Structure 1
Amino acid sequence: MSDFRTKSRRAEAAMREVFEATPLQLNAHLSQRFQAEIYLKREDLTPVRSYKLRGAFNAMRKVLAAEPARSLFVCASAGNHAQGVAYMCKHFGVKGVIFMPVTTPQQKIFKTKVFGGDAIEVRLVGDYFDDTLAASQAFCTEAGGTFLSPFDDEDVIEGQASVAAEIETQLGRTPDHIILPVGGGGLASGVRSFFGDAVQNTLVEPAGGTSLKAALAAGQPVKLPKVDGFVDGAAVAQIGSKTFQRLADIAPADVIAAPEDRICATMLEMLNVEGIVLEPAGALAVDALVDVAAQIKGKTVVCVTSGGNFDFERLPEVKERALRYSGVKKYFILRLPQRPGALKDFLNILGPEDDIARFEYLKKSARNFGSVLIGIETSKPENFALLFERIAAAGMGFQDITNDEALAQFLI
């Protein structure tokens, strides 16, 4: 057994004093759909509803074993890493100072405080994470604390690899294929290092934050000029240097970019069909099944559902994006003649399965035509082709703005 596997198994054994192994569950729905034996490694069922406490535990355990007098730990995070560190500070009886952006939702701040209790202090600094990180590192240096990286640390990587150790034990063998989400790379590099070449890997990034793909193309970690923050648990501008060293030889074809709207559809499917609540990053591995469907047929596959810290205030947005991705909801600008009966004419054009979800005049004037924002939801995507044909035949001009992100931000 390699040294890394040995250390990862030791970390996993030590974790049993804090929490039980997360379930490895055969999923009948996905197995039938993809004609494979598909298991979910339910990291959304840890005490903090993500795998992040594994790395925090292992890093803190090693620091305290080497320096028992260490009493201050510092981190910067807007989400799962903060909660994992808070939980472990309380467990080890040490003080934690957790820096979070000022813009962090109150729900995440509240949960971090609940997990840490009196052991932690939350400091809100900066509108953007880079500012938060800089402030936390400056404080840590000044106060003589230990900084806990969310992913770019060998002890953290080793702790995240305990996921793989559990999978191997629970399955009784190595799976044929494992699908992992990638943000900073801690989980992916740890699990891949544990299994080595014995398992086929598929790594999944959100399309709006493909830091691993960029690093593979450049041969080194590079900072993305722009990141879509929707998949907040994996939307990382630059993959870690230590994690990239462990992922640098992966084939680019084995790294998938998952569209954010498709992830929303996967989240809704898992909620409605399986009753499983996943955050966007937690749904990445399941979402990628459609991309590797041909590769995994007849094989044993493990998808790591990495987190379930989903704020249900986001559910309307998730549903909206899922409907748009599925092609059953569209928005368009309609040029409607300004005459009596014009609206009635338009309503008569609608099919029996077409529902108006939004109707708003954008321009009211004495002109012959007025612009109207229309949102239509229907039962199947092909209904729109028929609807647009009828609109055009009636002489009413229109512009489909469903995928125009700039307009959507203002109008939808």
Structure 2
Amino acid sequence: MTDFVNNARLTTAALRDLFDPTPLQRNDHLSARYGAEIYLKREDLTPVRSYKLRGAFNAMRKVREAAPEQRQFVCASAGNHAQGVAYACRHFGVKGTIFMPVTTPQQKIDKTRTFGGGAVEIVLTGDYFDQTLAASQTYCREMGAHFLSPFDDGDVIEGQASVAVEMFDQLGSAPDLVILPVGGGGLASGVTRYLREVAPQTDFRFVEPLGGASLTAALQAGEPVTLPRVNSFVDGAAVARLGGRTFDALKWADPAQVLLAPEDRICITMLEMLNVEGIVLEPAGAMSVDVLPVLADSIKGKTVVCVTSGGNFDFERLPEVKERAQRYSGLKKYFILRMPQRPGALREFLNMLGPEDDITRFEYLKKSARNFGSILIGIETRQAAQFTHLTARLDQAGFTYRDITGDEALAEFLI
């Protein structure tokens, strides 16, 4: 065995001081649906509800072994990495300074503080993460502290490989396929490096959010590149630039192995896992399950492991998740309707709605002319085909309307 494999096993053994192996669970619902043996590697069940604790713990452990006098650690994060670092600081009895953007939700700040106890100090600075990161690195240099990268670090990658060590030991054999979410690439780098050595027959698929496809861009360019724009909804994987070390570990991948998951489609998967299985997943944690329909024909009869990487979901976001899911599935639409300003016009429109159509939003925007007024209207239905019938009736009656459901600019300001 190589040094990496041996070190990954040693790291896994050391992690037992913090928590037992996360479950590898066969999912009956998904297995029956796809005619395969579908297992979930439940990283949403670590003490901090994500795999990030593994890498933070290992990196901190290695630093402490090499330099026992180092007792100050710094990171910049608004999410799972911050919580993993906080937990590790408390375990090792060292001081952690965690920089977060001032826009970080209070729930995430409170959880980080809880995991760290008296071992961590939280510094809120910067409206955007790049500002927060710069401030943390300046502080780190001034204080002589050690900076803990969320993914682009060899010890972090080695720590994340413990997911693969547990998975292989729990399954007792090599899976046919492992599906991994990708943000900065630390988890995918560790898991694939380990399994490519101990189970070379195992295949991989990587999943990125459509609005944050940094691995796709890096493979196309032959090096990490910075995305000009990132959709932050999948906050656990919305990374503008893949790490240099993680790219070196993943550059062997065929671009065809990388799948893109639309943010709104991920919401459908999150709701299904919650309602059917009672499993709470954050957007990044649901990505590996989200692409199963895309792979349906190729996974029949195979053993597939989906890594559910995190479950830090704020239930205040649930209405947004439901909204996105309905819009993606075609069950909810928004229109700007030009309503004639005459008696009976509104009643005429309402009579066009079907028995399963429900008005969820009705707002008079402005009276742009004496004879017409603009109305923002949201309609929810049970069958997507109902909208085809509705728009046909609107056309036949001569109503002027515009479907703005997919218009990001208008939706941001009006919906």
Given the two structures, how large is their TM-score scaled by the length of structure 2? 0.98
Q: Specify the alignment match of 1:185 in structure 2.
A: 185
Other structure's SS at 2:155 match? helix
SS in 2 for 1:18: coil
SS of corresponding position for 1:380: coil
CA distance in 2, matches of 1:187, 1:81: 12
The separation in 2 between residues aligned to 1:234 and 1:240, in whole angstroms, is 13
* Deviation by residue 1:7-34 (Cα, 9 ceiling, x = unmatched): 1111001100111110000001111111
- The letter of the residue matching 2:80 is N
Is 1:81 the counterpart of 2:81 in the alignment?
Answer: yes
- Cα distance in 1 for partners of 2:351, 2:397 equals 11
Answer yes or no: is 1:249 the counterpart of 2:252: yes
Q: Could you tell me which runs of 5 or more consecutive residues in structure 1 were left unpaired when the two chains were aligned.
A: none
Local SS of the residue matching 2:211: coil
Query: What's the counterpart of residue 6 of structure 1?
Result: 6
User: Which residue does the alignment assign to 2:285?
Assistant: 282
Q: How many equivalent residue pairs?
A: 412
**Which residue matches 1:374?**
377
SS at match of 2:367: coil
AA at the equivalent of 1:36: A
Q: Supply the distance in 2 between the matched residues of 1:141 and 1:184 (Cα, whole angstroms).
A: 23
Change (3 A) 1:191 1:122: same
Deviations 1:277-311 (A, max 9, x none): 11111111111112211221110000000000001
Is the contact between residue 177 and residue 202 of structure 2 (CA under 8 Å) also seen in structure 1?
yes
Other structure's SS at 2:68 match: coil
Residue equivalent to 1:55: 55
Structural mapping, 1:302-317, within 5 Å: 302-317=305-320
Are positions 1:105 and 2:108 aligned together? no
Partner of 1:291: 294
Contact 2:368 2:374 in 1 (8 A): no
Corresponding position of 2:202: 199
1:365 to partner: Cα distance: 5.4
Matched position secondary structure for 2:379: strand
SS in 2 for 1:349: coil
Q: Structure 2 counterpart of 1:232, which letter? A: D
Unpaired runs of at least 5, structure 2: none
Structure 2 counterpart of 1:350, from 339, 350, 353: 353
Deviations 1:355-393 (A, max 9, x none): 111111112255212111111101111111011111111
What percentage of aligned pairs have identical amino acids?
Answer: 71
Q: Which residue number in structure 2 is paired with residue 29 of structure 1? A: 29
Residue equivalent to 2:38: 38
Deviation at 1:69, TM superposition (A): 1.5
1:175 match: 175
Question: Which residue does the alignment assign to 2:128?
Answer: 128
3-state SS in 2 of match to 1:363: strand
Distance 2:12 2:299 in 1: 28
Query: Matches of 2:164 and 2:183 in 1, distance apart?
Result: 18
Matched, 1:91 2:91: yes
Residues 70-112 of structure 1, C-alpha deviation per residue, up to 9 Å, x if partnerless? 1101111010000000000000000001111111111000000
Instruction: Identify the residue that residue 336 of structure 2 maps to in structure 1.
Output: 333
